Amino acid sequence: MTPTMLRAALPLLLFAPAALAQTPQVHSLTTTYTSNNGLDGNMFDVKALAPITIVALDGHFNSGSVTIEVYTVPGTYVGHEFDPSAWTLRGSATTTSNGVGVPTPIPLALDVQLQAGEIVGFYVTCTGTPGVKYTNGTGVVYANADLELYEGRGMDYPFTGGYVPRAWNGTVYYTTEVGERFCFGDGSAGFCPCANPGGQEQGCANASGLGARLEGTGSVSVSADDLGFTASGLVPGQPAILFAGTQMVNAGQGQLLGDGLRCAGTSVVRLGIAVPDAGGVAVWSGGLCGQGGVNAGETRYFQVWYGDGPGSPCGAGHNLTPGVKVIFGG
């Protein structure tokens, strides 16, 4: 579906200047690279203080070629140290370590999404030599405004032995989420148009067989005007429009539109067209408050409307993400 077709299908959108698509801002938290010990792997817990998505890790390894596995478990790792069935393998990769005392990027693209107060256990391990470097624990909690990282346990590969407490050496890279998501196409809101529900907290299923997601980034500050949005699970190459309204549609349950649910409405303003990359991700950032005429204390409801491609499950050729509610500050 072309941008022209999108415009024609939803005439009440007001066409403001398009926002520029940019890479979402990535934040980080580093523990230490001053190791005094090591083993095959290291378990540790991360607690989100705000909604975040962990996207990548740097680790600390002895010199040489290293094969790394990264696992997660919901909640704390404690009690699951020796239970492989409790863990989800997030990926395995081989790389060359940068050596002792410096970070080595782990070449895995992660997508570990946490809400405020949620805890996830991580296990970063080598499948053999040269092994993980870590530091004997001293009760330190590594933290910033978005997350806390706790000392954990050194482990023998894959899920045996070990010593506590051990502080993981590394850097966590993450993006932050702003606003409250609503109006999902997973059956928790209105039913999707042709029995095409998406996964949990996704929109209605699109041509990929899954639904799209929408997450706010940056801040709610009108003066900073750095609010952004990242839509994922879109159909690659199909144009997507970010728009905002002043009301939820149907009390947040949404109304049928195309292959999805229309969730945001009333005094609608279009905030830019972006074309998703090969991974189905599109990004809008910066200048949205100015474009939308938003003042501190006001609430807006954001959503992305996108082309669904030739495999459109209901044949409409267009679909929508869930909505995001944002209450703006000064």
Whether the per-residue pLDDT at 14 is higher than 90: the answer is no
The 10s digit of each residue's pLDDT in 119-142 is 999 999 999 989 999 999 999 999
State the average pLDDT over residues 278-300. Answer: 90
- Give the whole-angstrom CA distance, residue 171 versus residue 54: 11
pLDDT attached to residue 200 = 87
Q: How confident is the model at residue 145 (pLDDT cuts 50, 70, 90)?
A: confident
- Give the whole-angstrom CA distance, residue 28 versus residue 208: 32
Instruction: Considering only the C-alpha atoms of the chain, give the largest distance between any 2 of them, rounded to a whole number of Å.
Output: 64
Q: What does the chain come to in residues?
A: 330
pLDDT attached to residue 24 = 54
**Contact predicate 306/198, CB 8 Å:** no
Amino acid type, 151: E
Cis amide prior to 74 (ω within 30 degrees): no
Of the chain, the end-to-end C-alpha distance in Å amounts to: 38
Whether the per-residue pLDDT at 3 is higher than 60: the answer is no
Pinpoint the residues of the chain covered by CATH 2.60.120.820: 32-169
The 10s digit of each residue's pLDDT in 205-239 is 999 999 999 988 888 889 989 899 999 999 999 99
Whether the per-residue pLDDT at 251 is higher than 60: the answer is yes
pLDDT attached to residue 286 = 79
**Contact predicate 170/31, CB 8 Å:** yes
CB contact set of 241 (below 8 Å; sequence gap of 6+): 3, 6, 13, 270, 271, 272, 273, 304, 305, 306
pLDDT attached to residue 242 = 97
pLDDT attached to residue 150 = 98
pTM for this model (two decimals): 0.60
Residue that is written with structure tokens 């005439």 in the block: 11
Classify domain 32-169 by CATH architecture.
Answer: Sandwich (2.60)
The 10s digit of each residue's pLDDT in 73-106 is 999 999 999 999 999 999 999 999 999 999 999 9
State the average pLDDT over residues 184-194. Answer: 92
